[in-house]
Amino acid sequence: MYTTHMKRFGSALMRVIMLVYLLLWSPGFLFAGEKAQPLNFIADTTGLSGIELWYANLYNSNKFYCALVTIIIIPVVGFILGSIADFLISKTGLDLKSRAK
Q: How far apart are CA 89 and CA 31, in angstroms?
A: 61
Q: How far apart are CA 17 and CA 19, in angstroms?
A: 5
* φ, ψ dihedrals at 82, nearest 5°: -65, -40
- DSSP at 34: S
pLDDT value at 1 more than 60:
no
Q: How far apart are CA 34 and CA 56, in angstroms?
A: 33
Question: Quick one: what percent of the chain has pLDDT higher than 70?
Answer: 79
User: Which pLDDT score is estimated for 55?
Assistant: 95
**pLDDT digits over 10-25, tens only?**
677 788 888 888 777 7
User: Which pLDDT score is estimated for 40?
Assistant: 84
User: Which pLDDT score is estimated for 15?
Assistant: 82
Q: Are 36 and 28 in contact (CB under 8 A)?
A: no
**pLDDT digits over 35-81, tens only?**
778 888 888 999 999 999 999 999 999 999 999 999 999 999 999 99
User: Which pLDDT score is estimated for 17?
Assistant: 84
The DSSP element (H or E) to which 98 belongs, if any, is none
Predicted TM-score (pTM) of the model is 0.54
Q: Is 59 helix (H, G, I), strand (E, B) or coil?
A: helix
Q: CA Rg, the chain, in Å?
A: 27
